[in-house]
Amino acid sequence: MNELNPPERINLIAVKWQDGTITDLEKKEFEEWYADFEDVLEINSDESHEEAERRLYNLIVKRGNIGPKRTSKWPRIAVAASILFALGIGGYYIDKQDQQQFAQIQIKNDIAPGGNKAILTLANGQHIVLTSAKNGQLALQGNTEITKTADGDIVYKQAGGQSATLSTSVYNTVSTPIGGQYHLTLADGTNVWLDAASSIKYPTAFTGAERKVEITGEAYFEVAHNAAKPFRVQSNNQLVEVLGTHFNINSYADENETKTTLLEGSVKVTGLNGFKFIKPGQQAVLKGNNLNVAEADVEEAVAWKYGYFRFNDEKISSVMRKLSRWYNIEVVFEGNPSDEGFNGKISRYKNISQALKMLEKTKAVHFKVEGRRVTVI
């Protein structure tokens, strides 16, 4: 897997610090990076949420690129987002009084987050539960060996360690349940991350003139470059074609849009009535028969892959759909859902109570948790 870029690295360390899984080396790395801003990040309890966030953001941007790994390639906005997230601000502001109010919120039946869970379905119909499967070889299909690594990833390669592109292709499927996610490496070296309630169907070896897979739900791709053999992803009424690039597709059946977000490279997106080319930082949005291109909030689009939720002026109905897939909950609305936009960022590895408390901070919604049913009030 590719290394995270510096802003993503800092966000990851911040999450691990909050979760208590940070190592001594990571803690030292974060402290050195944070030291550049310690003098400007004082919080005035008299400030409103908006005033505090605006002041801190402006100070961060004014300072420019930061940390011991300074480089002009760091986008200033990403750097600011990293710091706000690390401080626990991330779109909402908590003063001492708010912290006391948070402590009074009680959720009797807390719900743990999802994790690495998936089922591998072989061409012969055999199902392998990847969560409980032992590391090592899982199956041999033709000349293609399917193995589970010590990291829990699934890797396809030709028996003997050679490329799998010469073996006869048969199709496998990896499916994640609600509350699951998984990573696999296809026969050509392409890396795929599946979000909750998603699936990918793919050949065990790419033997033809193209590399084609089919997905449902949400998936992030880092496609191995091969100019002679384009990589194509089929989803709901859409075909994405690339040669080698990084992109995310959100194509859940319960969403009214299919969104393809490009991080690097070039992508051709084809809908029912035409096609569009998108550039890094752009997003193709397919709604019905209409295919349009817009500037993307890349951080929000790929937040799930890096272990957190990112809400950017997002309606509560959309927020709760994301939470329901990850926490495996039933969501019930008492009254009409609010049209207010919610902003914030929180680790996906927190119990649901932490996410709900963050949303309740807005005072626009409240929650009641009974078993796995969450009522939005």
- The tens digit of pLDDT for each residue in 250-286 reads 999 999 999 999 999 999 999 988 999 999 999 999 9
* Number of other residues whose CB lies within 10 A of the CB of residue 92: 21
Claim to verify: residue 153 and residue 217 sit in the same structural domain: yes
- Torsion, Cα of 266, 271, 274, 280 (10° steps): -20
Q: What tens digit of pLDDT does each residue of 46-67 get?
A: 555 556 555 655 555 555 444 4
Same domain as 149, residue 243: yes
Do 240 and 294 reside in the same domain of the chain?
yes
Last residue of one domain, picked from the residues 235, 265, 300: 300
371 with 312, same domain: the answer is yes
Give the pLDDT of residue 358.
85
Pick from 305, 313, 253, 251: nearest CA to 283 = 251
For residue 122, is pLDDT > 80?
A: yes
Least confident of 19-23, 222-226, 280-284, 316-320: 19-23
Percent of all residues in the chain with a pLDDT value above 70, rounded to a whole number: 71
Helix (H) or strand (E) segment spanning residue 191: strand 191-194
pLDDT of residue 83: 47
CA distance 254 to 85: 29
Tell me 44's DSSP state: -
Long-range CB contact pairs, 103-110, < 8 A, 24+: 105/353, 105/357, 105/360, 107/352, 107/353, 107/356, 107/367, 107/369, 108/369, 109/369, 109/370, 109/371, 110/351, 110/352, 110/353, 110/369
CA distance 57 to 45: 17
Question: Once rounded to an integer, what is the mean pLDDT over residues 166-189?
Answer: 88
Question: Taking the chain, what is the end-to-end CA distance rounded to the nearest angstrom?
Answer: 42
Task: Give the domain-ending residue among 104, 136, 151.
Answer: 104
Among 201, 206, 239, which residue's Cα sits nearest to residue 224? 206
The last residue of one of the domains, among 104, 130, 149, is 104
- Mark whether 293 and 315 lie in a shared domain: no
* Domain membership flag for residue 1: no
Total domain count for the chain?
3
Residue 332: inside a domain? yes
Tell me the helix, strand and coil percentages in the chain, rounded to 5.
Answer: 25, 35, 40
pLDDT of residue 280: 93
Both 203 and 223 in one domain: the answer is: yes
Q: In this structure, are residues 204 and 172 in contact, taking their beta carbons and an 8 Å threshold?
A: yes
Tell me which residue of 77, 69, 86 sits closest to 14, measured CA to CA: 86
Instruction: Examine the domain organization and report whether 330 and 286 are in the same domain.
Output: no
Question: Is residue 241 included in any domain, yes or no?
Answer: yes
Task: Specify whether 178 is located in the same domain as 94.
Answer: no
Q: Do residues 244 and 345 share a domain? A: no
Cross-strand pairs, 139: 146
With a pLDDT cut of 90, the percent of the chain lying above it is 46
Write the DSSP assignment of 267-292 as a string of letters: EEEEETTEEEEE-TTEEEEEETTEEE
User: At a CB cut-off of 8 Å and minimum separation 6, what does 216 contact?
Assistant: 198, 199, 235, 236, 251, 252, 253
Q: Model's pTM, two decimal places? A: 0.73
Directed axis angle between helix 6-19 and helix 24-34, to 10°? Answer: 120
Mean per-residue pLDDT for 7-32?
A: 65
Can you give the pLDDT at residue 220? Answer: 96
Q: Both 290 and 324 in a single domain?
A: no
Measured CA to CA, the distance from residue 372 to residue 54 in angstroms comes to 37
**Is 60 exceeded by the pLDDT of residue 93?**
no
Cα gap 248→347, rounded to integer Å:
19
Query: Does residue 188 belong to any structural domain of this protein?
Result: yes
Q: Give the range of the structural domain holding residue 344, as residue numbers without chain letter.
A: 307-376
pLDDT for the residue numbered 91: 38
pLDDT score of 53: 54
Here the CATH number for the domain that contains residue 317 is: 3.55.50.30
Query: Alpha-carbon distance 27 to 10, whole Å?
Result: 10
Q: Does 324 lie in the same domain as 274?
A: no
**Residue 31 φ then ψ, to 5°:** -65, -40
